[in-house]
Structure 1
C-alpha cells in the first residue's frame, strides 16, 4: 500500500459502500454509520494499519465489523438488564417500509458468513473475486454462500409475504 495514502480520498471513495455493507449485516443504519466512522477515526489515529494493508477498504471493513460486533455484545448485555426490569427502555427506531424491514429481518436470519457474502456482493455491488478477498476465502466458497443466501432469502421473503397477505 502507498505510505502516503490520502485518508480523505479513501473516505470519499469507500465510506458509502462500507456503511451499506455494515447496514446489511447489522440491520441498523445508524449503527452501521457509527461503526464506519469509528473505523476511519482509528485509521486517522493510527494510520500505519490502513497504510500497510493490501486492500485498505477491506481493512476498514474488518475494523468496522469488529466494532459493530463489540457493540452488539454490549447491547445484548444492556437488553438483558432491561428485561430484568432494572431499566426502562424506549424504542426510538424510525419507521421503515415493510419491504425494507422484511429484507433486513431475513438477512439477519442468515449465518454471518452467508450474510456477509450476500451484503458485499448484492448490496455493495462488489465482484465475487473482491468479496472473496475481503472475506479471506476462495471464490468458490463465496459462490456457494451466495447460492445458499439467495435460496434462503427467497424462502424467508416468500414466507413473510404469505404471512402479511393473511393479516
Structure 2
C-alpha cells in the first residue's frame, strides 16, 4: 500500500469504516501475535491480546494521524495491552519443581523450558505468514535465537516491564528514547532496566545463547537428527536413542498445556537418566505402539506422537516434542501435551 492509498484508508478508518480499518491492521496481525507471544509465552493468550490490541486501536483511531508510524502505533498498543494483562493476571513465581529427576545439581545449569508451566510452542507454518521485509529489521525479528523455546522461557523470568524493554530494544531494534516514550519512563531508567534484564537472561539462557547472535543455517542437519530420533523411538531401540542424545541432554515434560492447571513440570537430565526413564514406556509391559509425525515449532524440529493401545486400530494424539539440536545431537526435548495439536493443524487421531 503506497503512502497516498494508506492516507485515504486511514481517513476512512477514522471516519468509522470498519473494512478500511481491517485493511490497515490485518497485515500486521501475525507479527503482533509473535510480539505478544514473546511477552506472554502463551500462544493462546497471545491470540486474545492481538484481538484486544485491535479493539483498543479501533477505539482510539481518531487520534491517529497515519503515515509511516502506523506499525509502531500498533506495537505501542499491543505492548501496553500485554502489560495490563500481566498486571491483572500475574504469573506464579518460577521455581525449581519438587518432581525433578536429574543427574546434576539443577542450580548449576539453566532450568529447561518445561520449568515454565504456561509456555506453549509456536507453529513454524504461522511464522511464514509474516511477509518478507514487513518486520523491521526482518532478520532480527524472526531470528531463531529470539523465537526458540530457550529464549522464550528465559524471558519469562523477567518482570513485565523488563520483558518489554528487552524485546523492544534487542529484538525489534527500538531506540532507548522510543522505548521510554512507550513505557512512560526516562531513557536512563530504560537503559538501567535493560541492563538488569540482560543479566537475568544470561542466568537462564544456555551458554551458547548468551548473546542470542545469529547462528548458521542448520536445517538439513536438524532434519536428519529428527529422523534418527523418530526412528529410534519407533523401533524402541534404547541404544539408538542413546546415540542421538547428547551426554548432558535434558527432557522436560510440561505439567499442563500452557496454562496454570495440571501437575508441575518434570524433567530428566543426562543421557543415561533419559534412556532409563523412557525404557518402560518404549518396551515395558504397558508399552504402546507409536506413530511419529514430523513438524516444526519455534524454528526448531518437532515431533508429534500418536499412541495406540493393544487391540486398538487407530492412533490417538499424545504429545508434541520440540527438539533442540546442537552439534548433530539432541541437546534438549521439551514435551507438550496434545492440546497444542490444534494450533499445528494436527489431527486428533491417525
Aligned to 1:124: 172
The whole-number CA distance in structure 1 between the counterparts of 2:152 and 2:37 is 9
| Deviation >6 Å, runs of 4+ | 159-163
Deviation at 1:31, TM superposition (A): 1.8
Q: Residue 133 in 1 paired to residue 147 in 2? A: no
Give the TM-score of the pair, scaled to structure 1.
Answer: 0.63
1:80 corresponds in structure 2 to: none
1:83 corresponds to: none
Q: Deviations over 1:11-70 (max 9, x none)?
A: 2565444333321220013321321123213433x3xx2432687332343235434654
CA RMSD of aligned residues (A): 3.8
* C-alpha deviation, 1:122, in angstroms: 2.0
- With over 3 angstroms needed to count, the CA separation of the structure-2 counterparts of 1:15 and 1:129, relative to structure 1, is farther
State whether residues 169 and 176 of structure 2, in contact with CA within 8 Å, keep that contact through their aligned partners in structure 1: yes
* Number of the residue aligned with 1:52: 63
Give the alignment of 1:1-167 within 5 angstroms.
Answer: 4=11, 5=14, 7-8=21-22, 10-12=24-26, 14-44=28-58, 46=59, 49-52=60-63, 56-57=73-74, 58-67=76-85, 70=88, 72=89, 93-94=120-121, 100-158=148-206, 164=250, 167=270
Name the CA distance, whole Å, in 2 between partners of 1:41 and 1:121: 26
Is residue 21–residue 123 contact of structure 1 (8 Å, CA) maintained in 2? Answer: no
Tell me the TM-score normalised to structure 2 length.
Answer: 0.34
Higher strand share: 2
SS of aligned partner of 1:109: coil
- CA 1:13/1:143 → structure 2, altered by over 3 Å: closer, same or farther? farther
Output the CA distance in 2 between the equivalents of 1:27 and 1:116.
13
Q: Which structure's residues are more often helix, by fraction?
A: 1
* Contact 2:169–2:175 (8 Å) recurs in 1: yes
Higher relative contact order (CA 8 A, sep 6+): 1
Q: Residue 139 of structure 1: CA displacement?
A: 1.4
Contact 2:166 2:197 in 1 (8 A): yes
Compared with structure 1, are the counterparts of its residues 9 and 41 closer, same or farther at alpha carbon in structure 2 (3 Å cutoff)?
same
Contact 2:83 2:160 in 1 (8 A): no
Contact 1:27 1:105 in 2 (8 A): yes
Q: Which runs of 5+ in 1 are unaligned?
A: 77-90
* 1:109 Cα deviation after fit: 0.8
SS in 1 for 2:48: helix
Equivalenced residue count is: 144
Change beyond 3 A, Cα 1:108–1:163: farther
**Is the contact made by 2:121 and 2:149 (CA closer than 8 Å) also made in structure 1?**
no
Change (3 A) 1:101 1:15: same
In structure 2, what is the Cα distance between the partners aligned to 1:15 and 1:95? 15
